[in-house]
Amino acid sequence: VGQQLRALYLLGQAYSRARRWDQAAGIYERAIALAPNAVQPRLSAATAWSAAGDPGRASGYLETSINANRAGNAAWMPQAALELAKARFPAQMMRPPDQRQPHWKSVLAAFKEAKDLGATDWRLALLAAEVAMVPGADEKLRTPAQRVEQAATLLKTAESLAPAEADLWRALVPAYERIGRSADAERALVELAKQTQDPAQVALAKAQLQGNRKQTAAAEHVLQDALEELPQEAQRPVRLALVQLQRQAQQLDAAQQELAALCRDNPGDPLLLRQMIELVLETDPGPSGDRWQAAGPWLDKLREADTGGQSVWKYFEANRMLDQAQCASDPSLAVAARLQAVVEGLLPTWP
């Protein structure tokens, strides 16, 4: 078991370095099944699921690890508490503004625990800056100007904590742009180029910055140029960014073509298949008027790829049945309800 566990962990790390987060998370979950009491696979799975855009699942692994080790003084606890706060934050930001305030206690509690346990790295400062920008999260920051000033101060603090760390500068580019400090965002982009040897990260940061500024053509040009220079094994995050950019610009046909090519290059990848189904459902179905007809083959592929019981395909299948039900007594409604119950039971925060 020990040798198999090490092999899985090394494979998970390889997927993480390639930023194939969903596949990394799946590998770490296999490691958890082999060693249910081991902490590191749970922490790694949480990091991967958070990066893959599933903060709910990340929170579950982090909460389990933290609660099981509260009596100890493990060196990983501060970072785990920080990751928990980071995972809870986007879940709250997905809520409508008028529904966030009652739920901020869980975010702030994890944030406070991370500080109390001694977390001091730049990620804590970045999270504090994001929290500072949320109206009502800090009662002392009553005006937008006060919130921006506090957030800018915290981002400067982050800079001082790890001035040579590329991941920090990568995170600072959008962080400064979100608070309206465009000159600082440009400066962070320059620093990122100095601190990393990965041209894909610079291209992604620059394209994201231009996309946020509605400079879609310029952002697309940056990504296309990067794809011409990068080896095929390093292209996936850039191609995914291109798809996202095209979706934001409502270039849905172009996005579909690029994402379909990614699915062909990565058969059975559940994250890509899930995105493909969502994209097909966004696109004009054409003369048939049936958006599920076009999504059907991709849903079949997602069902085949569900070897880990993730049940994502059941979510889409339930929605298909609901859309196509002819009346309140349609038997498919009962099937859809059962599928939704399965999804809610296994993945309560998805999607």
- Encode pLDDT of 168-179 as tens digits: 999 999 999 999
| pLDDT level of residue 50 (50, 70, 90 thresholds) | confident
330 has pLDDT over 70: no
Residue 61: CB atoms within 10 Å: 28
DSSP state of 234: G
DSSP state of 43: H
Looking at per-residue confidence, does 184 or 126 come out higher?
A: 184
Q: How far is CA 224 from CA 192, 204, 227, 242, 264, in A?
A: 20, 11, 5, 8, 19
Closest CA to 25 of 7, 11, 39: 11
| pLDDT level of residue 281 (50, 70, 90 thresholds) | confident
349 has pLDDT over 50: no
| pLDDT level of residue 310 (50, 70, 90 thresholds) | low
Residue 178: CB atoms within 10 Å: 16
Closest CA to 260 of 249, 245, 275: 275
Identify residue 36 by its one-letter amino acid code.
Answer: P
| 212 close to 174: Cβ distance less than 8 angstroms | yes
Summarised one tens digit per residue, pLDDT across range 192-241 is 999 999 999 999 999 999 999 999 999 999 999 999 999 988 899 999 99
Average pLDDT, the chain: 82
pLDDT attached to residue 72 = 64
pLDDT attached to residue 147 = 92
Q: Mean pLDDT across the stretch 33-53?
A: 85
**Phi/psi of residue 250, nearest 5 degrees:** 60, 30
Q: Taken in order 264, 266, 270, 271, is the CA torsion positive or negative? A: negative
Q: Mean pLDDT across the stretch 67-72?
A: 72
Q: Mean pLDDT across the stretch 282-311?
A: 76
Considering only 53-62, 182-191, 247-256, which range has the smallest mean pLDDT? Answer: 53-62
272 has pLDDT over 70: yes
DSSP, residue by residue, 260-326: HHHHHHSTT-HHHHHHHHHHHHHS--GGG--HHHHHHHHHHHHHHH--S---HHHHHHHHHHHHH--
131: helix, coil or strand? helix
| pLDDT level of residue 152 (50, 70, 90 thresholds) | very high
Q: Mean pLDDT across the stretch 103-119?
A: 73
345 has pLDDT over 60: no
Q: How many CA atoms lie within 13 A of 300 on its CB side?
A: 5
93 has pLDDT over 80: no
Dihedral of the alpha carbons of 39, 55, 205, 234, in degrees to the nearest 10: 60
| pLDDT level of residue 341 (50, 70, 90 thresholds) | low
| pLDDT level of residue 342 (50, 70, 90 thresholds) | very low
Q: Report the distance separating Cα 260 and Cα 275, nearest Å.
A: 10
Burial class (CB in 10 A: 0-12, 13-18, 19+), 331: exposed
Q: Taken in order 131, 134, 136, 142, is the CA torsion positive or negative? A: positive
Summarised one tens digit per residue, pLDDT across range 256-271 is 999 999 999 988 888 8
351 has pLDDT over 50: no
Considering only 124-133, 307-316, 327-336, which range has the smallest mean pLDDT? Answer: 327-336
